[in-house]
Structure 1
Amino acid sequence: MRSLLLVLLCTLCSFTLAAAKPNIILIYTDDHGHADLGIHGVVSDIKTPHLDALARSGLVATHGYSTAPQCVPSRGGLMTGRFQGRFDLDNNGSALDGFNKQTTIATRLQNAGYTTAQFGKWHLGPTDAITKHGFKHVFSQNAQRPFSANITLDGRDRPMSDLPPGEYHLDGCSKAAAAIIERYKDQPFFLYLAYRGPHTPLDAPKRYMDRFPGDMPERRRAALAMLSAIDDGVGLITSTLKKYDLTEKTLIFFIGDNGAPLKIHKVDSPLKGDPGGWDGSLNTPLNGEKGMLAEGGMSTPFLIAWPGTIPGGQVYEHPVSALDVAATAASITNLPVKPGDLDGVNILPYLTGENKTPPHDALYWRWMAQSAIREGKWKLLRGGEREYLYDLTTDREEKHNLAVKHPEVATRLRTKLKTWADGLTPPGMALGPMAATWNDYFDHYLEGKTISPRIKPPAANASETQGWEARNGKLTTNNGLIILTPEKADKPTFITKSKLKLSGPVTAQLTLKTAATGQGAIAWRLEGDKDFFPANRLAFPLQSTSDWQTHTLEIPTSGQVIHVRVHLPAGGAEFRSLDFKSIHR
């Protein structure tokens, strides 16, 4: 009898715990422009009925902001609830050492008894190590190739290993997430569903493309198709919640990681021929794009819903941040958080109407050579030595610089921004000079100048350079040497070679001379990786000398290396040998 009572008591405690803790679903889209939600009413070609319904069940945050205008840093800030510049994760090329020392919101919730699961794009290190960051379940499909997963499409456990794709990646992530909801319907869960869409490559299947007939740029059609697949996935998630009576027990965030990359001219290049081009999404009516702290790069689709707790049908106009997700989750689940651990705020009292004041005194950003502060209606934006002041209540499009008209406001905001930025790692409002691309963006969007499309120089003859190609420079050959000439003497360059099939571990032996002393690095991409991950990088020192230098490094991987880069300090270089070989060949 005593044992039976103990079992009943434990069961009752378990049900009480589950009832007291709301489920949390964080949906994150990739390069998704502000215009591309039907409920925004900006464009007529978008079709997002399920997202529109989600918004009507909760709210649209019209001034919702990401933490960076680029993939890696914005995800680092989102996952930790801390501004990523506090741990030296400023851009896509930053090392992940600082991030790896942080406590993610997934870890905090897992320690509090939540089942945690990640789906889709990770971009914060090796996908087979996602479980080290607080996620029990992983389904990291973001393309039509094998991906790390420890669950199947129907939510069953499997050993962590590569799983061949069984569905289009956007559909697969949605179905796996719905399966986990069904599996854990009686327990609190935290799902992070990070769709790789509409980020390039634009790979929507025909059944989604066919939803958008008519005359339009093919890149626009493909983006609409990918967003339609995401919308279907959101519909599957919300219908699964409804099926198990979880709608009012679940807080949902839907946020974009940054604005759409327009590349100024929105060139409708072939879908498979320009993986780094315009992704077809739009930031209208906001000014700017991905890679800028302007509104078009930072103010993304931002929806929040918790029926029964957050009143539906709202349009919330006070600024909110993706950093608020972790702080809100920690507060509503009573997680122990030390002062200063999180940079966001619990926005729930503001969304329910309990607190009528703005959630933030100010929002701050720094990304590479740019920094910005938003305080009430004012926004101060800096890019290198340029400075702009906007009144966003009358000029959301950032067309009228008021820095000269209101110098006292600009000075006050600049002082606040500098004080905040001096507390980052490394400190400062800028981490270097403005690159040519960002100067073009500022000239075009903020200065109204006409920027002609950049004409890329002809590609180097790959047969003469052993398959190596240059970025930010030009490769030539002379007496058996490969010579790298940079486009600009003060700009770092790298050379790259793809279509490799080297089973790890791999040794790299380089014999070279460089014009400048500094740090070199080898980066590599494995089969199945969409991009070069910051963790897959080995640094080595280089000296400017007339003598040949030979560096031998081992790439510590058991996977197949398919693509390598050799990064160099600013200035030219000569290569006598560039050998990459499988150790066990």
Structure 2
Amino acid sequence: MRIVFCWLICLSSVAVAQRPPNIIVFYSDDHGHADLSCQQVVDDIRTPHIDAMAAQGVLAAHGYSTAPQCVPSRAGLLVGKFQSKFGLESNGDALDGFNQETTIAERLQQAGYVTAQFGKWHLGPTPQITDHGFQYVFAQNANRPFAANIDLDAEDRPMGTLKNQRYHIDGCSEAAAALIRRFSDQPLFLYVAYRAPHVPLDAPQKYLDRFPGEMPERRRQALAMLSAVDDGVGLVRKTLQECGLSEQTLVFFIGDNGAPLKIHKLDAPGGGPGWDGSLNDPLNGEKGMLSEGGMHVPFVISWPGKIQSGQVLSHPVSALDVAATAAAVAKLNVKGNDLDGVNLLPHLTGEAKTAPHDYLMWRWIAQSAVRDARYKYLRGGQREYLFDLQEDIEEKHNLLDQHPEIATRLRTQLENWAETLKVRGLATKPMSGTWEQYYDYYLDGKPASQPGVGPRSAARKDAGGAGRGGIGVSSPSIQGWFARYAKLSQRQQTLNVTPLEKAGNANVALIKSGFEVAQARALKLQCSTDQPGKVTVAWRLKGQKDFQAECRKVFTLTDSTPQTLQVDFDGDETLIHLRINLPKTGFTITSADVLQQNREQSISLWPMKRIKD
């Protein structure tokens, strides 16, 4: 009997190995770049199951959505073609073009796959999801009745309204796990699109209880909803393991676009429209922008036994690559111009040594962008920017004037690509007032014009406050000083900076802004460091939108003894902003004083008092 049993197991294993691999896509909603703990950006998020998936596969450090908004990004993902090619550029556009396209679900279903959709659809009436290649539908995206043709146990039912029995995230996870068990002997394509942490924020108490302590309630709700998502990923992966399918399943986890911050990250009660509690740190901007904060998203890929574990992919990749990769691993016959993405598998197994893409390009209404391996050209209305994303992922330094030849090369590439879109050109409409304000604030450094941001908005922006979020990346302020990727503390008259263990390659910085010292002639900084290293002092003068290359000075601290660093100014300008980049070691400031031209007194920036020169 034992011999027969072992023989049956062997036959089953051979059958599994010979059939096409399963493909699962987890898609989160308005999920900021910071909010996976494996990103090592913030320290309040906990996503152990997605972290395990990344540890056993690949964390794409530069993973991108196709749009900074829900509808077009979902259309691009499912079709595998940039959505503006079939006329679905933004949420308000007609779905006619999408309805005529062939989705990856349709291609896989025709190849013998069992296909299923769970959660948010947002691409037309949910009872019509089956028209787009999904045999099974469980379209629960809220705690109310929803369209489905299977129940929680993945049993068939007529397509129609199903009463919700679980919190919507849990319901999608349970139904997906049940479908895996039901069809464990057939190839599967599952699209699990959680409506989280998108508003309305609605996490049940069992998830909220995981995040006690003082924090904005909207942040607590986002953490709780993402914890439910993480549990769902864990349940699906556990089910795959129980069915012996882990090494037969390619899994993606991707966000649809960046988090909406609404500039101010107001902790409004009720959980409805507004900031969804998620964070884009350390990226600049938010949902609705083609800056990094709008579409540089969480992006994880796993295929145990096929993809080497523990990888961090530094090359840019796109959600468009999902369909191309799925088509390749399922050995589908796809025409060369049907898909815009790239099969990522050779790049993840080491077979291909080159980057998957020479360029990635986007257009969203009045905004367009292109990036290569290093540089990004961004256009918003009539504004143009060039960023070096290797050195400046936060998009703080516009290099357009310094490198016009690079900007021209990228702009030309973008213009040529834009001619392939259904509506040609770098924009389809003029820039709206809302996005002009967002570009003013995030990219041009102007104070926010909306209520709730005072004259210290620049300080909050640079410190990761109102502009970019600061939980876990920027410390709470002490006398107006902030530390990025470090903890800040005060002991008597010293200001102490301790880098976070999760800082990685990020620049640890100490920041002071929101002040004005007229006729500044020198900064004297008395400081010490635990270990030798370089300290860069950068400053901004009134009228400057950003830090200039000539407004910085590098010092080398050779030992741990207290030293005085001095930066000289011309005495005719007003100093408004300091940023001190630090070595990744303990750093202490005893005093920071600005001397003024023709004055006997100096202004003390630390400690906050006036002292004799």
Of residues 292, 296, 304 in structure 1, which corresponds to 2:293?
Answer: 296
Task: Tell me how far apart the structure 2 counterparts of residues 97 and 151 of structure 1 sit (CA, whole Å).
Answer: 27
1:505 is aligned to none
Q: Is 1:438 matched with 2:435? A: yes
Q: 1:290, CA displacement in angstroms? A: 0.3
State how 1:34-183 maps to structure 2 within 5 Å: 34-183=33-182
Which residue does the alignment assign to 1:259?
258
- Give yes or no for contact 2:437–2:449 (8 Å, CA) kept in 1: no
Offset at 1:418? 0.5
CA distance in 2, matches of 1:229, 1:271: 20
Shift of 1:328: 0.4
Following superposition, the deviation at residue 20 of structure 1 comes to: 2.9
CA distance in 2, matches of 1:444, 1:57: 39
Amino acid at match of 1:39: C
- 1:133-532 matches, cutoff 5 A: 133-272=132-271, 275-453=272-450
Whole-Å Cα distance in 1 between the matches of residues 17 and 413 of structure 2?
43
Letter in 2 for 1:433: P
Contact 1:319 1:359 (C-alpha < 8 Å) held by counterparts:
yes
1:94 Cα deviation from its structure 2 partner: 0.4
Name the counterpart of 1:527.
none
Shift of residue 356, structure 1, vs aligned partner: 1.3
Contact 1:18 1:188 in 2 (8 A): no
SS of the residue 1:344 aligns to: coil
| TM-score normalised to structure 2 length | 0.71
Contact in 2 for aligned 1:18/1:187 (Cα 8 Å): no
Distance 1:103 1:18, change over 3 A: farther
Distance 1:319 1:376 in 2: 7
Instruction: Provide the C-alpha distance between the structure 1 equivalents of 2:146 and 2:17, rounded to a whole number of angstroms.
Output: 32
Kindly indicate whether the alpha-carbon contact (under 8 Å) linking 2:250 and 2:301 is maintained by their aligned counterparts in 1: yes
The 1:15–1:123 alpha-carbon spacing in structure 2 relative to 1, beyond 3 Å, is: farther
Distance 1:30 1:142 in 2: 11
1:436 Cα deviation (Å)? 1.0
1:253–1:305 CA contact under 8 A, matched in 2: yes
User: Quick one: distance in 1 between partners of 2:294 and 2:217?
Assistant: 23
Task: Verify the 8 A CA contact 2:65 2:256 in the aligned structure 1.
Answer: yes
Write the letter of the residue equivalent to 2:312. V
In 2, Cα distance between equivalents of 1:20 and 1:133: 24
What CA deviation, in whole Å up to 9, does each residue of 1:285-343 have, x standing for no partner?
01110000111111100000001000000111000000000000001111010110000
Quote how far apart the aligned CAs of 1:112 are.
Answer: 0.2
Q: The residue matched to 1:395 in structure 2 has which SS?
A: coil
**Native 8 Å contact 2:17 2:248 kept in 1:** no
CA deviation map 1:26-62 (0-9, x unaligned)? 0000000000001111111101111111110101000
CA–CA distance in structure 1, aligned partners of residues 57 and 449 of structure 2: 43
1:239 is paired with a residue whose SS is helix
CA RMSD of aligned residues (A): 1.4
Match of 1:27 in 2: 26
How has the CA–CA distance of structure 1 residues 388 and 149 changed in structure 2, closer, same or farther, with 3 Å as cutoff? same
Distance in structure 1 (CA, Å) of the matches to 2:445 and 2:401: 18
SS in 1 for 2:376: strand
Gaps of 5+ in 2: 1-10, 453-613
- Give ranges in structure 1 of 5+ residues lacking alignment: 1-11, 456-585
Paired with 1:358 and 1:271, the residues of 2 have a C-alpha distance of 45
Structure 2 counterpart SS, 1:365: strand
1:181–1:17 distance in 2 versus 1, CA, 3 Å: closer
Tell me, yes or no, if the aligned pair for 1:220 and 1:281 is still in contact at 8 Å. yes
Distance verdict in 2 for CA 1:286–1:24, change over 3 Å? same
- TM-superposition CA deviations, 1:168-224 (whole Å, max 9, x none): 000000000000000011110000000000000000001111111111000000000
Distance 1:13 1:242, change over 3 A: closer
CA shift, 1:18, in A, is: 6.9
Distance 1:335 1:242 in 2: 26
The sequence identity of aligned pairs, in percent, is 66
Q: Distance in 1 between matches of 2:19 and 2:133?
A: 21
**2:142 aligns to what SS in structure 1?**
coil
What is the Cα deviation at residue 87 of structure 1?
A: 0.4
Q: Give the whole-Å Cα distance in 1 for the aligned partners of 2:170 and 2:16.
A: 32
Shift of 1:19: 2.8
Secondary structure of the residue aligned to 1:300 is coil
Rounded to whole Å, the distance in 2 between the matches of 1:186 and 1:25 is 16
Kindly provide the amino acid, as one letter, of the partner of residue 347 in structure 2.
Y
Shift of 1:276: 2.0
The structure-2 alpha-carbon separation of the partners of 1:411 and 1:208, relative to structure 1 and needing over 3 Å to count, comes to: same
Alpha-carbon shift at residue 226 of structure 1 (Å): 0.1
Moved more, 446-455 or 325-334: 446-455
Matching residue of 1:516: none
1:238 Cα offset (Å): 0.7
Give, in angstroms, the shift of residue 65 of structure 1: 0.2
Match of 1:266, as an amino acid?
Answer: K
1: CA distance between counterparts of 2:72 and 2:373? 25
CA distance in 1, matches of 2:21, 2:331: 11
1:342 alignment partner, SS class: coil
Amino acid at match of 1:290: K
CA distance in 2, matches of 1:431, 1:242: 48
Q: In structure 2, the residue corresponding to 1:315 is in which secondary structure?
A: strand
Secondary structure at 1:411 match in 2: helix
- State how far apart, in whole Å, the 1-side matches of 2:14 and 2:288 are: 47
State the Cα distance separating 1:432 from its structure 2 match.
1.1
Residue 271 of structure 1, CA deviation: 2.5
* SS of equivalent residue, structure 1 residue 234: helix
Q: Secondary structure, in 3 states, of the residue corresponding to 2:385?
A: strand
Counterpart-to-counterpart distance in 2, 1:271 and 1:107: 40
Give the secondary structure class of the aligned counterpart of 2:174. helix
Aligned equivalents of 1:101 and 1:303: distance in 2?
A: 30
Task: Tell me, yes or no, if the aligned pair for 2:266 and 2:274 is still in contact at 8 Å.
Answer: yes
**Greater Rg over alpha carbons, structure:** 2
1:13 CA drift (Å): 12
Distance 1:433 1:168 in 2: 41
Does the 8 Å CA contact 1:36/1:282 hold for their aligned counterparts?
yes
1:488-541 Cα distance to aligned partner (Å, 9 max, x none)? xxxxxxxxxxxxxxxxxxxxxxxxxxxxxxxxxxxxxxxxxxxxxxxxxxxxxx
Equivalent residues of 1:71, 1:258 under 8 A apart: yes
Q: Could you tell me how far 1:17 is from its partner in structure 2?
A: 7.8
